[in-house]
Amino acid sequence: MTRTTGSKNIKLFEKRNKVESADNAEIKHLAKATSATALEKFKEVLNNQINYIQWIESRHSTLIKLKRAAGERSPKDLTYRKYKWYAEQNSLLEAINAFEVFYKQSAINLAKALRNYVPPERIKGAVDSKVLWSVSGKISISELIFEHQLYHDLDSIDAATQSIVQDKRYNKSNLKSPLASKNIKLQAVFQIRHTLSHNYGLITRSDQAKFKMLGLQAEAGKIVDPDKDCFGTSVKMFLKKEAEDFTKWLVDAAANYLDGMQKGSGVTLDRRVLTRIQQGLGTSAKLTGLPWV
């Protein structure tokens, strides 16, 4: 087949043996500081998304002004609407995915910090032996155990924190939980993720039924529109607030766990553990008030 003049000479995927990558400093997509907490990294992703959408909007406005000044036709509103929807959809899907990464990174950071204070019989999960065999470079046991787990399910998140600090936040099955209404909204967010990811935003009859069960009206056969009535923005605001609340809860849960260990078993609280928790998750008065040595 003759190559079109000016087209790129693209190497076929089936002939490739490498996943191409770039340093984050070059892409500037994720949090700049690799030492940032899980919460700080999540907020950085959200900020990048806000800047991305604002950049698209400002470029469109600039293009209209330039076209009009030159006496040329401006881009059609429907064309802009279509491509803006793509951007909004991808942004919302990435925000929800980043929220799941936040949960995962929080669990990993907590497990790394408290590994010496958690008995092995409480840790559950199986790591594929082929994965273990293929691992190269430096990696922690905590990463291997908690990275492969799914974090778009509240029961899985509770199971992870329960195994480390003997406490869980959500208790999804308890309808009288103080977080019952929030739990429903979180499940609705994960359902939105499913619709965006697996149905490309199309609300199926099954999606409609699931949204109804979670207290949200949704019209089957239509497309989730993150731009309409700032729907996507409201989801991101909700996730940001819950990430903040979850982090506060998790830090205090870790403090309560360590306090119980120290008082019940007389274990020594190594100050280096405090530093690891603060660097990976954050801090609180309850945490710093423990008898660190």
In the structure encoding, which two tokens stand for residue 238, read together? 């909700």
| pLDDT above 60: residue 99 | yes
38: exposed, middle or buried (Cβ count in 10 Å: 0-12, 13-18, 19+): buried
Q: Give which of 171, 164, 167, 173 is closest to 142, Cα–Cα.
A: 164
Distance of alpha carbon 105 from alpha carbon 90, whole angstroms: 22
Tokens of residue 174, six digits:
């308890």
Cα–chain-centroid distance for residue 255? 24
pLDDT band at residue 127 under the 50/70/90 scheme: confident
Give the whole-angstrom CA distance, residue 221 versus residue 223: 7
Q: Which of helix, strand or coil describes residue 167? A: coil
Asked whether residue 97 is domain-assigned, the answer is yes
Question: What token pair was written down for 213?
Answer: 């069960």
Q: How many CB atoms lie within 10 A of CB 288?
A: 12
Over residues 179-230, the pLDDT tens digits come to 999 999 999 999 999 999 999 899 999 999 999 999 999 999 999 999 999 9
Which pLDDT value is given to residue 32? 55
- The identity of residue 191, as a single letter, is Q
- Considering the domain boundaries, does residue 154 fall inside one? yes
At 33, is the pLDDT very low, low, confident or very high (cuts 50, 70, 90)? low
Q: How many helices (H) and strands (E) does the chain have?
A: 11, 0
Question: Average per-residue pLDDT in the chain?
Answer: 90
Sole residue written with tokens 């940001």: 240
**Residue 29 banded pLDDT, cuts 50, 70, 90:** low
pLDDT at 30 over 70: no
Number of folded domains that form the chain: 1
Number of C-beta neighbours around residue 159 at 10 A: 16
pLDDT the model gives residue 77: 81
In whole angstroms, what separates CA 53 from the centre of its chain? 19
Q: Under a CB-based contact definition with an 8 Å cutoff, are residues 142 and 156 in contact? A: no
Residue at token pair 């996943």? 19
Does the pLDDT at position 241 exceed 80? Answer: yes
Residue 28 lies in a domain: no
Q: Which one of 27-31, 56-60, 258-262 scores highest in mean pLDDT?
A: 258-262
Task: Extract the tokens encoding 59.
Answer: 């470029």
Burial of 277 (0-12, 13-18, 19+ CB in 10 A): buried
Residue whose token pair is 């032996």: 129
CA 113-114-117 angle, to 5 degrees, is 150
Residue with tokens 């609280």: 269
92 inside domain: yes
> Does 153 fall in a domain?
yes
> 184 vs 145, which has greater pLDDT?
184
Question: Which residues 6+ apart lie within 8 Å of 233 measured at CB?
Answer: 226
Q: What is the pLDDT of residue 75?
A: 75
Distance (Å, rounded) from C-alpha 97 to C-alpha 152? 9
Q: What is the pTM of this model?
A: 0.89
Asked if residue 149 belongs to a domain, the reply is yes
Instruction: Give percent of the chain with pLDDT exceeding 90.
Output: 70
Q: Does residue 158 lie within any of the structural domains?
A: yes
In a domain, 63, yes or no: yes
Domain hosting residue 209, numbered range = 35-239
**pLDDT at res. 148:** 76
pLDDT over 70 for what percent of the chain?
94
Confidence band for 78, pLDDT divided at 50, 70 and 90:
confident
Q: Are 107 and 161 within 8 A, CB to CB?
A: yes
Give me the sign of the Cα torsion angle 155, 158, 163, 166. Answer: negative
CA separation for the pair 194, 216 (Å, rounded): 15
